[in-house]
Every structure is written in structure tokens, then in C-alpha cells.
Structure 1
Amino acid sequence: MTPRARALDVLRGLTLALMIVVNMSISESLSYAPLLHAAWNGLTPTDLVFPSFLFAVGASLAFTLPRHAALGHGAVLGWALRRAALLFACGFVLNQFPFFKLDAAGQWHWMDWSHVRILGVLQRIGLAFAIAALLIHFGRGRGLLAFSVAVLVANAWVLANCGDDSLTGNAAVRLDRWLLGPPHLYAGEGQPFDPEGLLGLLPSVVNVLGGYTAARWVRQLGAGRPLLRRLLLASLALLGLALVVQGVVPVNKKLWSSSFVLVGLGVDAALLALLVLLVDLWRWERPAKFFEILGRNTLAIYLLSEVLQALLWTLPWGAEPAFMGVFRRAFQPWAGDKPGSLAFALVFMLGCWTVAWWMDRRRLYIRA
């Protein structure tokens, strides 16, 4: 039987839970700072959630890819492309959902299809997964390391030499405007700029490859102290290298800079070591079970959370969105601003977990 650390499954569920909670953050004045993304350069705990999910995707590849590889190259290619297409399609539809807006007068306005956002979180996951899966299958060991180094060096050079360090003039937004056009970029920054843009795609593949490598170590060493030592040494090396690289390109999640990739990998290696210690060696069963249940239906539960949030922000409650109506009536009066916002996010996440628990009880698993 292939060694498999439960910590890997817990990591996937934990990152999903954190994604749901941080996506419920309201604003700087109503949410705790660690639950908000860094405005530009710099790092908050929230910035590490997405790369950690990509790391978990890569870890899963170490166990799922061999089954497809046994069927031949065509099977791997078809599987990787189908999964990427499904995730991309889900993300694209989710970007536009619920396809209408309500104005202050309560009038419905259907979305303008000439201004649809093309890229997004699920789109990046799908593309990064497919690229990583094909690299792992058709490449080998040192080739993956060479790819990762080349991508991070090239990304650092492009960001440092092909634009400035601003939201409007960086190399990533210039590329996206040229290839996709401003109407098809995320507009939540106050102007067209996509934090899941094209320039950051290949560096995000490195996060997936990092998770794959960590899971390979699990398969080789098992969930024991030799694995802990290797993960911690890797974490220290990656974080040390990140300190060096940030002198060239700052840590920036929205640009997915090389230094950001290294920080994310370093933190994930340390986090996985901690989870191996707590879950596999010390047998913390109840917390492990909680996150395992959430992680068994990651795509379904993530889509559920995003659809519900979109509806809450779109449908009215008096003169404000239902999201704010629920917050102001059910949480803010007894908990206050920031504690109430956090309580709302946690209750919402637990609601999603309840659906995951129900699905798990009935053995309903939706795989991408």
C-alpha cells in the first residue's frame, strides 16, 4: 500500500475552509486586517491561502496521476485537458453569476457580455493543474526543478524590466490588456487589473509542483520524523531564498511574483510538517476529521460558497444587499463590527461544511 499522510487531506480541507472565510471579508473597516489581502506589495495570512490550495492540488497529483499514467500518454493528456476545461468553464460561469444586477430602484439589468471577466481563481487552478500534470508525466525529476527555476528567474526579470511597480504600469497588467483587453479584466481594484492574470500562471504552476514534490516525499518516507526534517529544511531554504529574491521583485500576491511563490512554498512546507506532526503522529482525530470532510468535495463546496455569496451580494434586503442585511441584523448588533464580520464568515463556512458532511454521509463525491 502506498504511504499517504492524512495531513495532506487535512491540508486540502483546511485551505478550503480558509478560502471561504476570507472570501466573506467585507471591507477594511469591517474586517480584521489578517483576513484582507495586502493592498500591493507585502503579505497577509490571506495572501497565502490560494497558493496553499495550489500546493494541495499538487499533492493530490502524486496519488492520482499514476493511475492515469498506467493507461498511457493519451489517457493522461485527455484527463488533464478535460479537468482543466471543466474548472475553467466553472470559473468563467461563476464570474458572471447571477447574470444580472439590481440598481437602487430595484430594476434588473442583465449583464453586458462585452465586459465579461475571462480569468479567475478556478481558471488558474485548472490551467496550473493541467500544465503541472503534463510536465510531471512527460518530464522527470530534474526537469521539474529546471522548469521551476527558469520560470521564477524569467518572472523576476520580466517584472523588474518590463514595467514599473504600480497597479497601472506593471508588466502583468500590460500583458493582460494587450491579449485580453481591459473590458475582460477584473475591475475590483478600481480599474482593469486581474490578480489571476496570465503572467502569474507559470509561477503558480511552481506552487503545484511544490505540492507534488512534498507528496512524493510522503510516499518515499512515510509520515514520520525523516519527513518532518526534510520538510522543515526545505521550508528554511525556501524562505531564505525568498528574502534574497525580494530584493529584486517584492513579495506581491496580485502579481504572483517569484518571491511570493518562494514564501508560499516555504510556509506550505512548514504547515505540512506541522499537520503531519499533529494528525499523523499525535493523532488529533477530531480536527482532522472536520477538515477531511470538507476536503472530500472541494469543487462542489467552493462553488456552493461562491454562488451563495454572489446571491447575497446581488439580492436586496431593503436598501442594501442581502449580505449586508444579514450582517447588520444578525451579527453586528451583538458582536460589533469586526467580531461580527468574523462570526458571520465562520457561520457561513460551517453552513458549507454541513453540506459537505451531508454529502459525505451519503457518499456523494463530485470530482473535477
Structure 2
Amino acid sequence: MNQNQRFLSLDVFRGLTVACMILVNTPGSWQYVYAPLGHAKWDGCTPTDLVFPFFLFAVGNAMSFAMKKFNTLSNAQVLGKIFKRTLLIFFIGLFLNMYPFGRYDAEGHFNFIDLSNLRILGVLQRIALCYCIAALLIHYLKPRGTAIVTCLLLLGYWAVMYFFGAPGDPYSMTGHAGQAIDLAILGESHMYHGEGVAFEPEGLLSTLPAVGNVVFGYLVGAYVQKNRHARGMLLKLVIAGSFAIAVALLWSSVFPINKKIWTSSYVLYTVGLATLLLSVMIYLIEMKGWQGKGTYFFEVFGKNPLFIYVLSGMLVDTYSYFRLGPNHEGLYSWMYNHIFQPVFGDYPGSLAFALFHVLLLWLVGWWMDRKKIYVRV
């Protein structure tokens, strides 16, 4: 590998996660989703539950390249860059929560959004906060100190959940310690209600262990850059990834693997799997030269990941502006009910609908790549 060459495997890894995010977020019908494309109901981990932590891991990988530039900047300049990026990503996420600024009711009347019920947190907001905390740790404590603090965060989160959660049920949806914090700080009306109760899967307390996905992604990226020509580099990565998975599985016997409250065992489990997958990609792409059409599909997503992800959310929400038929059916459900379901059936049609949007957004990314348009935040 050329020392100055960008790691193509990183773009492919990041692009794969973005493509999977679109795939799992846009089924034709949430009633007809194949099990691997749905989240675990509570404890456990499906392939879909790997997507978000893998993206955070990729954020850390990218930071291992980008933060090299911080060495030439003053402390004030570094902090300015970190906080500017954090706020920008956070408020883009908040904008997505507001968009399309209202909804149609059953009678077809458009009602503007009620800000008193606006959800404050979300996927991009978690990315922003995790990036901010991880970047500050790395900047001030350097890799070794950051690794130690991250391990303490994972252990401390377990202790807080165990000792301050509901007696006898500290890891339940409404009994975990983070629930009380979210209710007190965010307020019930500003939390996610998709589970039938006020519950924030991107809650404030559970953001702390999620920082671990970014930090370990950074450490893996930094290690690969430093040892890219060293013998045994990939073997050590495989051993590290396997070790993280083994520790996670042992830990899960007392602190279950759970995405919705982002348990510490879930962090280690997903970090281990991400490390193994990235190791395979580095071997095939960087070392064996597996480049071309097979990798380019994911490269397209990886070159404009945030923009394409935001566009996917806005596209789906924009459908709600269009009402069709006497029942004022939204365009999203109309497309599935009148095009994809009749042609492919229930489950295959729902999957085909999602794949259609993956391909549609890929075309946007492909056009941007052709025009050398890269949106950086």
C-alpha cells in the first residue's frame, strides 16, 4: 500500500453502513420486514442492530485521519472546529426531526408541527455528541489516556445502570437509570414515543457508552495507519476483534447485549465485529487489490455519507406532502400498495421498495462523485 494513499477500505466500510441505514429505514411496510432487517425487540442483536454502531466506528476511523491536522492548530482553533462540527451535525438532526414541518390528518388537513412535542435527540444528534466527547478526549488525553477513560466509561455505565435502575429490573425500558435522566432533562413530550411510551433510544446517559464505538474506531484507524506495513498487523486486529466479542459475550450474562439502552456489552460486541469486518476489507481491498465495480458501489455512499443519509430522511418525509386517491393516502404507502406490493408481494415488495431507494440515492451520490461534489461537515 502506498503510504500516501487513502484507505479505500474505509470509504467502502462507511458506504456499506450508509447503504444499510437506508435499506433498514425505508421498508415499503413496517408490517412486512424480514427478521434480519428489523431491530431486536429488546435484548439481543440482529444484523440491523449493527448498522448504527458500525457507522460510529467509521466516524472514529475517519477521525484518525482528520485529527492529524489538529497538531498544527492552536488549542482555541481545535476547540472551535470540534464544537462547530458538533453543533452543525446536531442541528441538522434537529432539523430532520422537524421536517416536513407538519403532517396531514385523516381528513386530509395539513397541521403544522407543534414544537412543544418536538423530539430533541436522534441518530445525528448522537453522532454529534459522541464525536464531540471522543474528539475532546483524544485531543487532551491522547490515545492511551482516551482508551483508559473509555473503558472506565463502559464500567461506570454498567455500575450506574445496576445501582440506580429500578430494583430487580434495572435494564428494562422504563426501569433503566437513563430513563429518569431523560424524563427530567428532556421532558416526556420531547422524547421518542415509537415504543408506545416515552423512551429515548438515543438518550443522554446511553450516549456515554456509545462514545466507545467512536473511540475504538479511532484507535483501530490509528493503529492501521501506524502499522500498515508491519507483519502481523491484520492478525493482531483479528485477535483484538475476537477478544472484544468474547468479553462482550461473557459480560452479556450479567449486562445483556442491548441496542436500545446501548449496553457496554453491546459496545464491545459491535466494536469487535466492526474490527473483524474492516480487517477483511483491508486485506481484500488494500492488500489484494480487489477494487473496481464491486467496491465502487459502496464508495459512492462513503464519499458523501452524511449528505446522502440526510437526503434519504428528507426524501421519505417529503412524500408526506403528496396525498393520492379519495382516502388521501400518502405517496410513501401509495407507492408500496400500488406498485411494489402488487408486483412482488408483501415481504419481497417491502424489501424491493427499500432497495429502490438505496439505488435512487446511489444515483444521486454517483452524480455527485462524477461532478467531484463532496459535502464535508
Q: Which amino acid aligns with 2:164?
A: C
Secondary structure (helix, strand or coil) at the match of 1:41 reads coil
- Which residue does the alignment assign to 1:179? 185
- Which residue does the alignment assign to 2:174? 168
For residues 66 and 123 of structure 1, the distance between their equivalents in structure 2, rounded to whole angstroms, comes to 24
Q: Per the alignment, do residues 116 and 28 of structure 1 end up closer, same or farther by CA in structure 2, a change over 3 Å counting?
A: closer
The question of whether the paired residues in 2 share the 8 Å contact of 1:231 and 1:273 is answered with yes
Moved more, 220-229 or 48-57: 220-229
TM-score, normalisation: structure 2: 0.94
Q: Per the alignment, do residues 167 and 142 of structure 1 end up closer, same or farther by CA in structure 2, a change over 3 Å counting?
A: same
Q: Show CA shifts across 1:83-136 (max 9, x none).
A: 000000000010111111101110011111111111111111111111111111
Secondary structure (helix, strand or coil) at the match of 1:109 reads strand
2:275 is the counterpart of 1:265: no
Moved more, 303-312 or 49-58: 303-312
Match of 1:196 among 202, 213, 216: 202
For residues 2 and 212 of structure 1, the distance between their equivalents in structure 2, rounded to whole angstroms, comes to 19
Give, in angstroms, the shift of residue 315 of structure 1.
3.6
The question of whether the paired residues in 1 share the 8 Å contact of 2:29 and 2:336 is answered with no
- Which residue does the alignment assign to 1:77? 79
- Which residue does the alignment assign to 1:41? 43
Give, in angstroms, the shift of residue 225 of structure 1.
6.1
For residues 229 and 35 of structure 2, the distance between their equivalents in structure 1, rounded to whole angstroms, comes to 35
- Which residue does the alignment assign to 2:318? 311
For residues 230 and 294 of structure 2, the distance between their equivalents in structure 1, rounded to whole angstroms, comes to 20
Q: Per the alignment, do residues 59 and 26 of structure 1 end up closer, same or farther by CA in structure 2, a change over 3 Å counting?
A: same
For residues 42 and 348 of structure 2, the distance between their equivalents in structure 1, rounded to whole angstroms, comes to 25
Match of 1:287 among 294, 300, 303: 294
The question of whether the paired residues in 2 share the 8 Å contact of 1:156 and 1:248 is answered with no
- Which residue does the alignment assign to 1:115? 117
The question of whether the paired residues in 1 share the 8 Å contact of 2:56 and 2:127 is answered with yes
Q: Show CA shifts across 1:300-320 (max 9, x none).
A: 111110001112245423333
- Which residue does the alignment assign to 2:218? 212
2:264 is the counterpart of 1:255: no
Secondary structure (helix, strand or coil) at the match of 1:139 reads helix
Give, in angstroms, the shift of residue 61 of structure 1.
0.5
The question of whether the paired residues in 1 share the 8 Å contact of 2:179 and 2:200 is answered with yes
Q: Per the alignment, do residues 213 and 240 of structure 1 end up closer, same or farther by CA in structure 2, a change over 3 Å counting?
A: same
2:309 is the counterpart of 1:302: yes
- Which residue does the alignment assign to 1:323? 332
2:67 is the counterpart of 1:65: yes
The question of whether the paired residues in 2 share the 8 Å contact of 1:117 and 1:183 is answered with yes
Match of 2:370 among 346, 361, 365: 361
For residues 89 and 48 of structure 1, the distance between their equivalents in structure 2, rounded to whole angstroms, comes to 25
For residues 190 and 361 of structure 1, the distance between their equivalents in structure 2, rounded to whole angstroms, comes to 44
For residues 346 and 227 of structure 1, the distance between their equivalents in structure 2, rounded to whole angstroms, comes to 36
Q: Which amino acid aligns with 2:209?
A: P
Identical counterparts, % of pairs: 43
Give, in angstroms, the shift of residue 223 of structure 1.
6.8
Q: Show CA shifts across 1:38-91 (max 9, x none).
A: 111111110110000000000000111111331121221111100000000000
Q: Show CA shifts across 1:169-195 (max 9, x none).
A: 221211100111100101111111111
Q: Which amino acid aligns with 1:331?
A: F
Q: Show CA shifts across 1:121-158 (max 9, x none).
A: 11111111111111111112321121111100011112
The question of whether the paired residues in 1 share the 8 Å contact of 2:143 and 2:219 is answered with no
For residues 27 and 241 of structure 1, the distance between their equivalents in structure 2, rounded to whole angstroms, comes to 37
Secondary structure (helix, strand or coil) at the match of 1:192 reads coil
For residues 321 and 48 of structure 2, the distance between their equivalents in structure 1, rounded to whole angstroms, comes to 24
The question of whether the paired residues in 1 share the 8 Å contact of 2:29 and 2:350 is answered with no
Give, in angstroms, the shift of residue 228 of structure 1.
1.6
Q: Per the alignment, do residues 91 and 108 of structure 1 end up closer, same or farther by CA in structure 2, a change over 3 Å counting?
A: same
The question of whether the paired residues in 2 share the 8 Å contact of 1:100 and 1:108 is answered with yes
TM-score, normalisation: structure 1: 0.96
- Which residue does the alignment assign to 1:55? 57
Secondary structure (helix, strand or coil) at the match of 2:232 reads helix
Moved more, 255-264 or 2-11: 2-11
- Which residue does the alignment assign to 1:344? 353
The question of whether the paired residues in 1 share the 8 Å contact of 2:29 and 2:333 is answered with no
- Which residue does the alignment assign to 1:106? 108
Q: Show CA shifts across 1:14-40 (max 9, x none).
A: 111001111113556311011111111
For residues 210 and 171 of structure 2, the distance between their equivalents in structure 1, rounded to whole angstroms, comes to 20
Q: Show CA shifts across 1:196-255 (max 9, x none).
A: 000111111110011111111211121776222011101111011101211221111010
Q: Kindly report the root-mean-square deviation, in angstroms, between the aligned alpha carbons of the 2 structures.
A: 1.5
Secondary structure (helix, strand or coil) at the match of 1:199 reads helix
Moved more, 79-88 or 329-338: 329-338
The question of whether the paired residues in 1 share the 8 Å contact of 2:161 and 2:177 is answered with yes
Runs of 5+ consecutive residues of structure 2 not aligned to the other structure: none
